[in-house]
C-alpha cells in the first residue's frame, strides 16, 4: 500500500498547487484570494476544490502507478507457470472476498514489493515486483497478495481520498487566511507575491497534513494484515511478514518511501511520516490475532 499512497499524495499535492496556479492566472480571487476574504465563500471553495483534487488523484491512481513502475499486465494465459499461478491466486482470493477481479500485473525490480491501487473495487490493480516472486515461497506470496486484496476489500483508497480531501480543504483555507493576514500587515506586498506565499504555504501545510494521512495509513495496515490472514490463513500472512523481515536488504534503499510492506520500519522522528508501522509491530499484532 505504501507505493500507492506515496504516488497518491504526490499527485494530490501537485494537483492542489496546480489548481492554485490556474486560479491565479484566471483571476479567481475576488472572494478567496489575497485581496479580500469572505470566510464563508472561502470555506465552500476550499471544500469543493480540496475534495475535487483528491478525487481527481484517485481517478488517476491506477494509470499513474502503471506508468511509474512499468507494470506489465498478466491474464492467466501467459504459458509461464509463475505468472499464471499469480493470476489464478489473485482470482481465488478476490472470489473468497466477494470482490470483482482486479487487473493483475508484474513489474521488474529487485525490491520485495507489492501494491494494490485503483479508484474503486471494480477498477483496481494488484501488482507485484519480480524481486518478490524470486525471493518468496508461494505460500508467502499468497500472504502478500491476500494483504493487498484486503486493502481493496476495505476500500482503503476511497477512505484515504475522503481524508485527503478534508486535509486539502484545510490546507487551501488556512493558506489563504494566513496569506491574507500577512498581506494586511504589509502594505508593500504585491498581488503576485501574495499568491507565491499561498503556494508555499500550501506545500508546507500539505507536508504537515501528510502526518495525518501517514497515521491513518499505519492504522489501516494492521487491518489489512488481519484481512490477509482471514483470506489466506494467519500462518501464510505471518510467513510473508517474517520473510520480509529476513530479507530487509533486498529493498532498494532509494525506494524506501515506496516499500509497500515497509520492510525496514522507519526509526526516530521519521516514523511519524511513515505510511507503515514497523514490521516487528505488525508481526506481534498478527500473532495476537485470533481468526
Per residue of the chain (291 residues), give pLDDT as tens: 455 555 556 655 666 666 666 655 655 555 454 455 677 788 888 888 888 888 888 898 899 889 989 999 999 888 899 999 999 999 999 999 999 999 999 999 998 889 999 999 999 999 999 999 999 999 999 999 999 999 999 999 889 888 888 898 888 888 888 888 777 665 555 556 777 888 898 888 888 888 888 888 899 999 999 999 999 999 999 999 999 888 764 454 434 433 433 333 455 556 677 888 888 999 999 999 875
Residues with catalytic function: 148
C-alpha span between 128 and 81 (Å, rounded): 15
Q: What is the number of structural domains in the chain? A: 1
Domain that holds residue 23: 2-288
User: Are the beta carbons of 17 and 202 closer than 8 angstroms?
Assistant: yes
Task: Write down the residue that cell numbers 510467513 correspond to.
Answer: 239
C-alpha span between 34 and 193 (Å, rounded): 10
Amino acid at each position: 500500500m505504501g507505493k500507492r499512497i506515496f504516488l497518491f499524495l504526490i499527485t494530490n499535492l501537485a494537483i492542489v498547487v496546480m489548481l492554485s496556479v490556474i486560479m491565479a492566472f484566471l483571476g479567481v480571487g475576488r472572494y478567496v484570494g489575497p485581496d479580500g476574504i469572505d470566510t464563508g465563500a472561502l470555506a465552500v471553495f476550499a471544500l469543493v476544490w480540496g475534495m475535487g483534487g483528491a478525487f481527481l488523484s484517485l481517478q488517476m491512481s491506477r494509470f499513474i502507478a502503471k506508468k511509474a513502475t512499468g507494470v506489465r499486465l498478466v491474464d492467466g494465459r501467459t504459458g509461464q507457470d509463475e505468472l499464471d499461478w499469480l493470476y489464478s491466486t489473485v482470482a481465488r482470493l478476490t472470489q473468497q472476498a466477494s470482490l470483482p477481479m482486479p487487473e493483475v500485473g508484474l513489474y521488474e525490480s529487485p525490491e520485495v514489493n507489492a501494491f494494490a491501487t485503483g479508484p474503486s473495487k471494480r477498477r483496481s490493480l494488484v501488482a507485484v515486483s519480480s524481486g518478490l516472486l524470486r525471493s518468496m515461497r508461494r505460500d508467502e506470496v499468497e500472504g502478500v497478495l491476500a494483504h493487498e486484496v484486503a486493502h481493496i476489500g476495505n476500500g482503503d483508497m476511497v477512505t484515504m481520498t475522503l481524508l485527503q480531501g478534508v486535509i486539502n480543504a484545510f490546507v487551501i483555507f488556512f493558506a489563504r487566511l494566513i496569506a491574507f493576514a500577512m498581506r494586511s500587515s504589509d502594505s508593500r506586498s504585491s498581488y503576485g507575491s501574495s499568491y507565491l506565499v499561498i503556494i508555499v504555504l500550501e506545500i508546507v501545510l500539505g507536508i504537515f497534513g501528510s502526518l495525518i494521512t501517514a497515521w491513518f495509513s499505519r492504522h489501516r495496515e494492521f487491518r489489512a494484515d488481519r484481512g490477509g490472514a482471514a483470506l489466506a490463513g494467519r500462518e501464510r500472512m505471518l510467513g510473508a511478514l517474517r520473510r520480509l523481515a529476513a530479507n530487509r536488504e533486498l529493498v532498494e534503499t532509494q525506494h524506501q518511501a515506496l516499500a509497500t510492506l515497509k520492510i525496514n520500519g522507519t526509526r526516530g522522528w521519521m516514523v511519524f511520516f511513515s505510511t507503515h508501522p514497523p514490521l516487528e509491530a505488525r508481526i506481534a499484532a498478527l500473532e495476537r490475532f485470533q481468526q
